[in-house]
Amino acid sequence: MRHYLLYGPATMKLPAALRIPALLLTVGLAAPALAEENILKEGAKDVGRAVGTAAREVGEGAKQVGKAVAEAAKEVGEAAKEGAKEAKRAAQKDK
């Protein structure tokens, strides 16, 4: 009895017949929690991949739009340049 009072119930040993069922119960309760954590991790990875793919696709689309705008601006610049040359030629003919 004195041993129990000094160390408390946490240090008392279970009889051998109860150790294995207690271990199995502990593992049985811990396994679903670990499996759920893994499922959540995999879900987070899948979401991360989807977001990364979407961002990459949006970036590629923006790149194509940027190239098209640059090409259109270049064409407008060339047309303005040719228009200025024609205006200059017409002004010189009038003199």
Instruction: Give domain status of residue 82, yes or no.
Output: yes
Q: Can you point out the beta strands (E) in the chain? A: none
Alpha-carbon distance values, 71 to 34, 62, 80, 83 (Å)? 55, 14, 14, 18
Contacts of 13 (CB under 8 A, 6+ apart): none
- Give how many domains the chain has, as a whole number: 1
Instruction: Give domain status of residue 8, yes or no.
Output: no
Structure pTM?
Answer: 0.45
Are 82 and 75 in contact, with CB atoms under 8 Å apart?
A: no
Q: What is the pLDDT of residues 40-54, one digit of tens each?
A: 788 888 888 888 888
Q: What is the pLDDT of residues 75-89, one digit of tens each?
A: 999 999 999 998 888
Domain range for 49:
19-94
**In angstroms, rounded to a whole number, what is the distance separating the alpha carbons of residues 86 and 81?**
9
